[in-house]
Amino acid sequence: MADAQLSPRNIPDRLETGGARLIKSWEALLIVVATVIFLGNSFASPYFLDPWNLSDATFNFTEKAMIAFAMALVIISGEIDLSVASIIALASTAMGYAVQLGVDTPALVAIGLSVGLACGAINGLLITGLGLPSIVVTIGTMSLFRGLSFIILGDQAFTGYPESFAWFGQGYVWWVFSFEFTLFVLLAIAYGVLLHKTNFGRAVYAIGNNQTAALFSGVRVARVKFTLFLLTGMMAGLASICLTSRLGSTRPSIALGWELEVVTMVVLGGVNILGGSGTIPGVVLAALIMGMVTFGFGLLNVPGIVMSIFIGLLLISVIALPILWRRARRRLAH
Amino acid sequence: MIAKLLKNREMLLVGAIAVLLALIALRFPAFVGPSNLARVYNDTSILIILGLGQMAVILTRCIDLSMAANLALCGMVAAMLNAAFPGLPIPLIILAAMALGGLLGIVNGALVWKLDIPPIVVTLGTLTIYRGLIFLLTDGKWINAHEMSDAFKALPRLDLAGFPVLSWLSLLMIAVMLLVMSRTPLGRAFYAVGGNPHAAIYTGIDVGRTRFFAYCLSGALAGLSGYLWVSRYAVAYVDIAAGFELDIIAACVIGGISIAGGIGSVAGAVLGALFLGVIKNALPVINISPFAQMAISGTVIIIAVAVNARAERRKGRVILKKAEAV
């Protein structure tokens, strides 16, 4: 990976005031982008502003965002987990297998979550226990986990989930607020508190900024990282429950390519891919932006792959533009 | 002597491939016959060419996730050129594919070099963009065998001194890369930049420019592979080689190329690709479902990276051993 510190770090003479920092923050930029897309969508399609349509739109991002919260913590700590989509596949396959044996909903949920946890534990053990680079380990487990569901399922599919199981992906808590969206909001708050208000969150930042320094300050680096991979695995298990319940079937190719979308969401949310900085509100905004773009384009009958071009361009440009902007300003200042 | 050989990553890999072949040969001696081995090599040729490009990029501490998408886009353009102008000489089409691939590599490289965007973000973005461009170009239509000229499809299969052109091309690329890596300033710069970027700057190497050239190289090789892929399988559509970027990285990792940069060799990349190639070709022979291939390559990657990490750790002084073990 490229190193961030080939150029000297500029330390300002005085700190900016809270207000100025807020306006210049990444989150402010994201809010502007989100507003523009929201307004653009409402003008482009008359159907966009319907509350039920908007509610449908949330399904585009809620499952990915659940994983993105945990992934944000992993990336802030300087690691990455590319196996999340494969964990979804394996957890979904396990639940599908259990259904064939006549297992009922509560046990299915437990199976989904524990498969996620187990996969996360395997990642965590390999990375913290053996000290292997997470990008390679999770590329490996990505093949391994999805490979296992291919071995179990081949070109078949599991269906026949119990009716009560459908609630997780299709049920509504109140009016237009789906279970998934409610879960998304609750998790956003939980992860926001975890990252920004607890010692654990400070430790995550500390590890991402300087792992050795964190170690010498008494942060249990290995334990924190292991916990993060465990959390990510569990979130993938949770997303698997929601997705499987929404689709009502399991194929080994379920959630194919999601790992890249989740990472895109996290990076778009202003999390530094090299670790050390990023916020949960940023990730929430990025999730909303990606969801709205996908949904708005969908209403305009734009095919999915064109949306992915847009997401790709968005990813590169939101990172490139501030760099170009800073450079232009520096040139003007001189 | 033996201890030294054991420490040598490439020899270890040769040993692993030999053991693998021996195990298969126990039950299916025909698999290790010269003609079948040549066939396995030929089948792995494209992965080898791609692995060589990825190796250069990884050596400089970068990564190229867009190679498979680049391959698919160049392959599609090559097929479209052939379908539109059947008279166009094939070497010209290959050059066009390589040029386009190189151009896509330049985009990656320029973003990494000039804007300092982390390579994984850049290529994650261009991966989706390049693949999306194929759709924009074709509206999702396929280009099938009957739309391609016979010469277009025949070239990779053409027999030259007993081996198909595809095999020869990969051998040529291996030779070129061997020369580049060991006999040119650029090749040395790849190692220097990945080994220690700060030191590289002080020796007068432009880190960004070196990475830029690595991406050009991987792009051009992906372009070449694009033509080879499409002509070999005689079909071009949006999703060809989807997910193959991970196979390429897997080949490099198995070949002992350190994801942290600076460590690796042409031989390693080739052997890593061959290891995967042997497994892929052996599975149907020993009657294991092809669905198992994914899980097996995943396991192999994890084992390979664990073995490599141990080999790397031995080098250099370990201070504060206790603290690191926490």
Q: What is the pLDDT of residue A48?
A: 79
Q: Across residues B220-234, what is the average pLDDT?
A: 94
Rounded to the nearest angstrom, the minimum Cα separation between A301 and chain B is 14
Has residue A185 got a pLDDT over 50? yes
Q: Which residue has the higher pLDDT, B64 or A57?
A: B64
Q: What are the boundaries of each domain within chain B? A: 35-309
pLDDT grade for B325, boundaries at 50, 70 and 90: very low
Q: What is the pLDDT of residue A1?
A: 42
Has residue B323 got a pLDDT over 50? no
Q: How far apart are CA B132 and CA B129, in angstroms?
A: 5
For the entire predicted model, the pTM comes to 0.84
Q: Across residues A198-208, what is the average pLDDT?
A: 95
- A132 interaction partners in chain B (CB closer than 8 Å): 302, 305-306, 309
- Whether the CB of A109 is below 8 Å from some CB of chain B: the reply is no
8 Å CB contact of B63 and A135: yes
Ordered alpha helix ranges (H), B85-156: 90-114, 119-138, 150-154
Has residue A76 got a pLDDT over 60? yes
Has residue A94 got a pLDDT over 90? yes
- Residue ranges and CATH numbers for the domains of chain A are 26-333 (1.10.3470)
What is the biggest distance separating any 2 CA atoms in chain A, rounded to whole angstroms?
72
Q: Which residue has the higher pLDDT, A205 or B280?
A: A205
Q: What is the pLDDT of residue A136?
A: 84
8 Å CB contact of B295 and A148: yes
Q: What is the pLDDT of residue A199?
A: 95
Q: What is the pLDDT of residue A261?
A: 85
Has residue A145 got a pLDDT over 80? yes
What's the DSSP call for residue A15?
A: P
Q: Which run of H or E residues covers position A71?
A: helix A62-76
8 Å CB contact of B132 and A305: yes
A312 closest CB neighbour out of B128, B136, B291: B128
Top mean-pLDDT range of A56-60, A277-281, A312-316: A277-281
Q: Which residue of A has its CA nearest to B256?
A: A136
Q: What is the pLDDT of residue A13?
A: 66
8 Å CB contact of B253 and A136: yes
- Whether the CB of B283 is below 8 Å from some CB of chain A: the reply is no
Start-to-end CA distance of chain B, whole Å, equals 35
Q: Which residue of B has its CA nearest to A302?
A: B136
Beta bridge partners of B159: B164
Q: What is the pLDDT of residue B312?
A: 65
Nearest to A89, CA basis, from A238, A255, A248 = A255
Beta strand extents in A165-215 (DSSP E only): 172-174, 177-178
Q: Which of residues 122-141 of B touch A (CB under 8 A)?
A: 122, 124-129, 131-133, 135-136, 140
pLDDT grade for A106, boundaries at 50, 70 and 90: very high
Q: What is the pLDDT of residues B193-208, one digit of tens each?
A: 999 999 999 999 999 9
Rounded to the nearest angstrom, the minimum Cα separation between A194 and chain B is 24
A273 closest CB neighbour out of B118, B238, B300: B118
- Whether the CB of A101 is below 8 Å from some CB of chain B: the reply is no
Q: Mean pLDDT across chain B, nearest whole number?
A: 88
**Domain B35-309 grouped into CATH 1.10.3470:** yes
Count Cβ–Cβ pairs < 8 Å, chain A vs chain B: 169
Rounded to the nearest angstrom, the minimum Cα separation between A224 and chain B is 11
ipTM over 0.95: no
CA angle A208, A214, A220 (to 5 degrees): 100
B197 closest CB neighbour out of A6, A135, A141: A6
Instruction: Using a pLDDT cut of 70, give the percent of chain A over it.
Output: 93
8 Å CB contact of B62 and A2: yes
Q: What is the pLDDT of residue A224?
A: 96
Contact A256, A144 (CB under 8 A): no
